[in-house]
Structures are given as structure tokens and as C-alpha cells.
Amino acid sequence: MKITFWGVRGSISSPGPNTVRYGGNTTCIEVRTDDNDLIILDGGTGIFPLSQALLKELPVTANIFNTHSHWDHIQGLPFFVPIFIPGNTIRLYGSFDPVSGAGPERIMQIQMQYSYFPVREVEMKSRIEYLTVMPNEPVQVGSATITPVLLNHPVITLGYRIDSGGKSIFFTGDHEPHSNIYDPGEEGYDEYQSLIEQQYQSIVASISGVDVLIADSAYTRDEYPAKKGWGHGTFDSCIELAQAAGAKLLYCTHHEPTRGDDALEEALAEALARRSGANPEVRLAREGETVDV
């Protein structure tokens, strides 16, 4: 498989001189299987430059897996040019949202309303399919098996494991490690602790042995206490998760929009300096970088 990062920024796109090296577009990751099946993880603003690249190989079948419906993961979808061109097939996979009672179709319905976008949903001339996926129920795309895994964020969020040709990738989307909502000694603490430990083990098992883990490391360890409950991990929590799952290579992503390139490198270096052990290799996800898996 081959991974290309088209957007690695979290929350809001952040172009400018301070983000030139790692990029300012929000989340979008292209995965190609050895058979050239196209899997796209999230449609943040990074999906726009990807769509420009795809114009050279029309018609395309794009399998877009949405981790969750927050803006930085969907905002580029109406600008994904192949949706307007007849002959292309776009499949948007995502979770069922228990609050709205809708699946991934709502992501387009909401964004392509008259007030927010000039083109109406019915004017998308490609073939569009919306597929609601369930946690732990794998779906097949060509040679790839994609398994959704329920993670922890202020909206329903699925991480995706992609297995193809004996190689594997896991992308967390946005994820904050679970924490106990009770104080130690309080009634409910032990029960809750046991639930979150079970859930942690289940997540680790889903990621187990992947060749590449791409994980949400929005915050540093020092920033985290003020951001607890916002739904994001830290460099340290990502390293810990990668070690627990035995991932061979970790890409840290969802870079904080206010963190410039130098600060980003420093933040990772600090986390690496305090980790135990030398594995896995850890890199910062960088817009435009392609890696062979």
C-alpha cells in the first residue's frame, strides 16, 4: 500500500509562513492498495488538492471513509471535484449518529444547503453512494479490508484499520484516551475504570501489529490538562498507544493550528526524549509526503 498525506492540520486550516513545511490543510489521507484501489480517509480541506491530482486519472472510484462529522474532516467534500463529473463513483462511508439519527448522507445534505454552498446536492453528477458502517464490522474495498473501530471524541468517531496485501494501516481520526469520570474512592470509580480498561484493550487489539499507525497528537503533555475532554490525544498518548499495539511506525497528525513547524518538531522531540524504549519509529505527518507500506 501507499499512503499520501494531503492534510495533517487539526481543527482549522492554517496556511502561512509558520506552517510551510508541514502544511496547513485539514485532515485528508490517500491510501492506495497495490491494485490501485483508492481509499480516502476524511475529506478535510486537503481533499481539494487531492481532487486536482485525480483529474488526471478519470473516471475514478473513490472510497471515502469519514471518521467523524466535524468540519475539519468534511469541509473539503463539496470541493472534491470528481463528485460533479459524470462517470465517477464516490462512496462515502461513515457512522450512524445517534443524535441526528442519520448516517454519512447527512454530511453532504447539511453542507450543500443553499446558504452554505452554491451547488445543490442533486447537481452532483457522479454516482454517489452513502454507506453507514458499524463498529467492528469489516467492509471490503477491492483487496482491502477496512474495519471501523469506535473511538472517543465529542461526536461519534470511528478509527479505521486497513488490511491489504499482508500490510496494515490504522488511522484514529480524532481520539482522546478515555479517562474516569469519577474520583478515586467514589462509588462508580472501580466499575468505570474496569469499563475503560476493557475499552482500551479492545482498541489496542484493533490496532495490534499494524505497519503504520496514524494518530491524533494535537496536544503536548503540558497542554493537555487545560484541554481535557476536548477529544484529542497527546504525542505521549500516541506513542504509548503505538507501543501497546506493537505498531511499527507512528505518524503523529492533527497538528494544532497555532503550532508552527519549529514548535511542532520541538514538541515531538520532547515527547520522544521522555519515552521508554526506542520503538516505534515516530514521524510527524507532513502534507505532500508519500510513504510506501
Partner 1 sequence: MAEISMDPTKTLSDAVEKMPAFPKSVQRVLEISRDLNCKPKDLVQVIEKDPVMTIKLLRILNSAYYSFPNPITSVNQSVVYLGINTVKNMALSFATAGVLPAQNDAGFDMQRYLMHSLTTASLARMLCNQFGNGALDPTDCHLAGLLHDFGKVVFAQFMPAQFKKALALSEEQSLPLHEAERQTIGADHSIVGAMLVEKWQFPKLLSETIRHHHGDPPTANCVQSYLFVADQISKKLSLGNSGNPRVEELPPELAKRLGGDLDAVIEGLGDLAPMVAEAESFCKGGGEGEP
Q: Which residues bind partner 1 (CB under 8 A)?
A: 96, 98-99, 132, 134-137, 150, 152-157, 178, 181-182, 186, 188, 191-192, 195-196, 199, 229, 231
* Closer residue to partner 1 in complex, CB, 129/191: 191
Q: Tell me how far, at minimum, the Cβ of 250 lies from partner 1, in Å.
A: 23
* Closer residue to partner 1 in complex, CB, 62/149: 149
Count helices and strands (H / E) in the chain: 6, 14
Q: Tell me how far, at minimum, the Cβ of 143 lies from partner 1, in Å.
A: 24
**Partners of 62 in beta bridges:** 38, 90
Q: Tell me how far, at minimum, the Cβ of 103 lies from partner 1, in Å.
A: 9
CA distance 94 to 145: 15
* Closer residue to partner 1 in complex, CB, 4/95: 95
* Closer residue to partner 1 in complex, CB, 57/191: 191
Q: Tell me how far, at minimum, the Cβ of 96 lies from partner 1, in Å.
A: 4
* Closer residue to partner 1 in complex, CB, 156/245: 156
Q: Tell me how far, at minimum, the Cβ of 39 lies from partner 1, in Å.
A: 22
Whether a cis peptide bond, with omega within 30° of 0, leads into 135 is: no
CB 92 within 8 A of CB 128: yes
Which uninterrupted H or E stretch holds 49? helix 47-54
For 127, 146, 244, 255, the CA distances from 122, given in Å and listed in that order, are: 11, 29, 46, 35
Residue with cell 445517534: 98
